[in-house]
């Protein structure tokens, strides 16, 4: 059984993350931890006033959160009656957000975190310090970031961008293979470069390793070359109807330069494509 954690603030954006989770694991029995974190104010002044009533205040907001989580569970069971083989567990917390998610992920042996993001702008901000970005960088657990405007059509086509500069940990590839297998997906390994130089010996070795390790999964290799890498990636995702982009966490700085230019208006192509961030 898979253990999936979905943080929620009860918004439409968070609901979309739930929908994606159910779609991704519709063939696999899962326990979904629907988690709402009531944040502790990070500044001492407001914190002192908020805690004036001590446990009374904390218990009141946790009670409200639990009620909303039970309503969320009821909505899931109503709108997705075919998914009743899953288990949905409400978790209401009063804590610092990242600390709470990290602790829950470790204690409950979470296999995947699914979070909603605010499209391109939100995902750009997420890489530099918002909740999603903090979870990516501080919690060593695979994370699926679901943009608010994305609509799930399955996960048949997965893009896996790489520069072949790093070797891949088997845990990373095993997670990718598992998701591809349960969704009958094809993995498109996309080499990104600014020129047409031949691969170095090390790069070729890493490419050959990927080809060998993915032998039992439908996969293909592609190359994107050009000074405007954003446009190249955009053309690829559109021409292939990519359903998800998977990346390795330690390569995030490289992909941030490619996918998240400061002028966000120029890169709208990925606002509807979920990102799967994999950790070693």
Domains of the chain, by residue range, sit at 2-147, 157-275
Which pLDDT value is given to residue 180?
96
Cα distances from 137 to residues 102, 106, 109, 127, 278, in angstroms, run 11, 15, 18, 8, 11
Architecture of the domain spanning 157-275: 3-Layer(aba) Sandwich (3.40)
- Proportion of the chain above pLDDT 70, given as a percent: 80
Which pLDDT value is given to residue 230?
66
CB 124 within 8 A of CB 155: no
Q: Which two tokens stand for residue 218?
A: 């439908």
Cα gap 118→149, rounded to integer Å:
8
Which pLDDT value is given to residue 7?
96
pLDDT in tens, 120-166: 444 444 333 367 778 887 899 999 988 877 778 888 999 998 888 88
Average pLDDT, the chain: 82
Q: Do domains 2-147 and 157-275 have the same CATH topology?
A: yes
**Top-level class of domain 2-147:** alpha beta
H or E segment at 261? none
| Residue 116: other Cβ atoms inside 10 A | 28
Cα gap 248→231, rounded to integer Å:
21
Cα distances from 252 to residues 127, 135, 163, 248, in angstroms, run 8, 13, 12, 7
pLDDT in tens, 85-132: 899 999 999 999 999 999 999 999 999 999 988 644 444 443 333 677
The pTM of this model reads 0.86
Q: Which two tokens stand for residue 76?
A: 């899931």
Cα gap 70→87, rounded to integer Å:
13
Res 29 pLDDT > 70:
yes
């Amino acid at each position: 059984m898979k253990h999936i954690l979905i943080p929620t603030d009860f918004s439409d954006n968070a609901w979309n993350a739930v929908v994606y989770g159910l779609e991704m694991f519709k063939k696999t029995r899962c326990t979904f931890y629907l988690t709402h974190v009531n944040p502790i104010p990070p500044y001492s002044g407001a914190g002192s006033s908020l805690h004036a009533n001590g446990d009374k205040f904390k218990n009141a907001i946790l009670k409200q959160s639990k009620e909303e989580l039970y309503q969320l569970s009821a909505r899931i069971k109503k709108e997705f009656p075919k998914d009743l083989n899953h288990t949905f567990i409400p978790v209401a917390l009063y804590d610092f957000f990242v600390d709470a998610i990290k602790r829950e992920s470790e204690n409950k042996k979470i296999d995947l975190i699914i979070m909603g993001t605010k499209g391109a702008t939100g995902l750009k901000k997420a890489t530099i310090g918002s909740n999603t970005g903090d979870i990516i960088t501080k919690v060593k657990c695979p994370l699926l970031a679901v943009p608010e405007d994305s609509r799930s059509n399955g996960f048949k086509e997965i893009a896996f961008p790489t520069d072949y500069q790093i070797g891949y940990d088997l845990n990373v590839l095993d997670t990718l293979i598992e998701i591809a297998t349960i969704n009958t997906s094809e993995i498109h390994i996309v080499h990104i470069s600014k020129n047409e130089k031949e691969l170095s010996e090390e790069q070729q070795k890493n490419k050959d390793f990927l080809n060998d390790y993915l032998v039992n999964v439908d996969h293909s290799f592609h190359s994107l070359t050009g000074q405007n890498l954003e446009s190249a990636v955009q053309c690829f995702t559109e021409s292939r109807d990519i359903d998800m982009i998977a990346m390795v966490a330690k390569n995030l700085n490289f992909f941030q330069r490619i996918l998240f230019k400061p002028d966000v208006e120029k890169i709208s192509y990925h606002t509807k494509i979920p990102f799967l961030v994999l950790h070693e």
